[in-house]
Amino acid sequence: MTKRLCIHGLAIAGLLASAAVPASAADTITVASWGGTYQEAQTKAFFDPTAKDLGITIKQDTTNGLDDVRLQVTGNAVKWDITELGADECARGSKEGLFEKLDYNVIDKTGINPKLVHDDWVGISYTSVVLIYRTDVFGDKGPKTWADFWDVEKFPGRRALSGSQATETLSVAALAKGIPIDKVYPVDIDGALQSVDKIKGHIDAWWTSGAQAMQLVKDGEVDMASIWNGRAGTLKKSGAPVSFSFDQGVLTADCMVIPKGSKNKDIAMKALAKFVSPDLQANLPLYVDNGPANEKAFETGKIPPERIKDINSAPENVKKQVLQDPAFWRDTLVEATEKFNNLIQQ
């Protein structure tokens, strides 16, 4: 009740003075992300500095993705003011009208790839799907490209691909056919499916979570796999005999949205503006392997030069990778995923 009164007060004061009202410490917003080390990194990189700057309290929660947002919005029980999603989820949720419009007078979009700047969602960070292989099996002569991964004669061994992220597996399947990285999108879905069909008999596990992909590689259950770069980096740091690179990686973006019906929309907007600002974006790679969505972050001087080469969204590395197109999957995801499932679920 007090919160609602407070917002009312803010709105009226805003109307009267037609000027930004400084947020009071009593203002609280709730931000949901994926949890784990990633959210811990976001806390240090984005949430804590923003809370301090704006003088607000940022509460945190974890999300399972678009279902959660849909449940809150359609059920009229929105408890988050900002939430993170995968970019294709943002594109789909936007089509369903689940998000508040973003105000780009408040949020500065300079430096963010235009493909990740939309009316009601904005990019926040990048994950790459990379090819990892075990060096105790292949030495340094392991599979380097997806065509190598598909070549079961030249590179015999056990393989794992993502079974839950059809979009990512179809993207690498297209690369395996020899399609150059700038021609992968729009994906020829039937062609990519044929490519999956060729390899599916040699796949020993279709992973459904990042942790599972990591476990499969770590325990030697498979010799090569597609994996998220954050997980791959963790494996390497823990001393596992693995190698990976950003060559032919699939760059997938994460985004942030304000769920429709958020009670603290205006403060959330200001907080979101902070999250995507180059200054805070540059903090993210200091704590985690997910690269900043704002390329101006690399110009802040905060990121040590020797670290830049390991960041997936550094301009040098972006050139080597395919940028997954959220708008493409918005319209094709359902059909493509069903076809993909038909193919791999026996």
Partner 1 sequence: MSLASASLDRAVEPDRALNADSLNADARREARGMLALLSPGLFLVFAVIIVPIGWLFWLSLFDESGQLSAANYARFFEQASYIKTFVTTFKVAFTVTGACVLLGYPLAYMLSQLPRRAASICLIFVILPFWTSVLVRTYAWLVILQRKGLVNTWLMDLGVIGQPLPLANNFAGVVIGMTHIMLPFLVLPLYASMKTIDVDCLRAGMNLGASPAATFWQIFFPLSLPGLASGLVIVFVLCLGFFVTPALMGGGKVIMWAMRMEQTTSLYSNWGAGAALGVVLLAVTLALLGLFQWLLGTRATGVWSRR
Interface residues with partner 1 (CB under 8 A)? 65-67, 70, 92, 96, 158, 160, 163-164, 204-208, 212, 215-216, 219-221, 333-334, 337-338, 341-342, 344-346
Closest CA to 92 of 327, 339, 337: 327
* C-alpha distance from residue 311 to each of 136, 195, 314 (Å): 25, 29, 6
The string of DSSP letters for 85-115 reads EEHHHHHHHHHHT-BPPP-TTTS--TTB-GG
Cβ proximity to partner 1: between 63 and 281 the closer is 63
Letter for the amino acid at 83?
T
CB of 163 to partner 1, least distance (A): 4
Given a contact cutoff of 8 angstroms between Cβ atoms, the answer to whether 339 and 319 are in contact is no
Cβ proximity to partner 1: between 49 and 65 the closer is 65
CB of 196 to partner 1, least distance (A): 13
Count of H helices and E strands in the chain? Answer: 17, 10
Closest CA to 117 of 102, 132, 134: 102
Cβ proximity to partner 1: between 10 and 137 the closer is 137
CB of 162 to partner 1, least distance (A): 9
Cβ proximity to partner 1: between 64 and 110 the closer is 64
Cβ proximity to partner 1: between 37 and 215 the closer is 215
CB of 244 to partner 1, least distance (A): 20
Given a contact cutoff of 8 angstroms between Cβ atoms, the answer to whether 50 and 1 are in contact is no
CA 107, 84, 319: angle at the middle one, nearest 5?
75
Cβ proximity to partner 1: between 299 and 338 the closer is 338
CB of 73 to partner 1, least distance (A): 11
CB of 340 to partner 1, least distance (A): 9
Closest CA to 65 of 37, 97, 92: 92
